[in-house]
Chains A and B, each alone.
Chain A
Amino acid sequence: DTGVSQDPRHKITKRGQNVTFRCDPISEHNRLYWYRQTLGQGPEFLTYFQNEAQLEKSRLLSDRFSAERPKGSFSTLEIQRTEQGDSAMYLCASSHTGTSSYEQYFGPGTRLTVT
């Protein structure tokens, strides 16, 4: 169990550019979640995958955001035409279907700064 990993840890981009983040969940964890955390706030749910299927999207996830989880392993979160309001910490979490479905393990996060 190597834990949830996220790449990159930090990303600085100019407004209008596209960015992509990657999350590698704990192996054999079939559930994967993305959250966004802005300064001084708790994390907010963005989207959820079970295996490769994206089963839920928050209304926070505008049309400029897209997430994928091909083959049910790693996941990517892409933001197109970034805006300053997208500056935040993007957290990924994973869990396993079964008796501990409720227990999510978080990665270190990707901190995005849009200038």
Chain B
Amino acid sequence: AQKITQTQPGMFVQEKEAVTLDCTYDTSDQSYGLFWYKQPSSGEMIFLIYQGSYDEQNATEGRYSLNFQKARKSANLVISASQLGDSAMYFCAMREGLASGSARQLTFGSGTQLTVLP
């Protein structure tokens, strides 16, 4: 089974509007972390936001917020007031086994290509 599922291969949003990128995950661990990364056309991976499984509040970082619904195993990224520079590939990722002190590998979804329209 897929550990991280991103069902939107491509999304379009008008500049200055908000957009939600979907991510669902599958794990039996109680302690895990969820991440979102941005990959512009230049190829570098840019860390955006993190949510821990025990965090009670949704994470926020500037215009990025993570809508964490633990019971539904979803961790959607919300970008407010989209800018042209937000056009990029966005990846959701999960790190399991945080409590066990294991190597903490990061498992990625297939990504969503976001295009911001002027």
Q: Do A and B come from one complex?
A: no
Give me the interface of A with B, judged by CB distance under 8 Å.
Answer: none
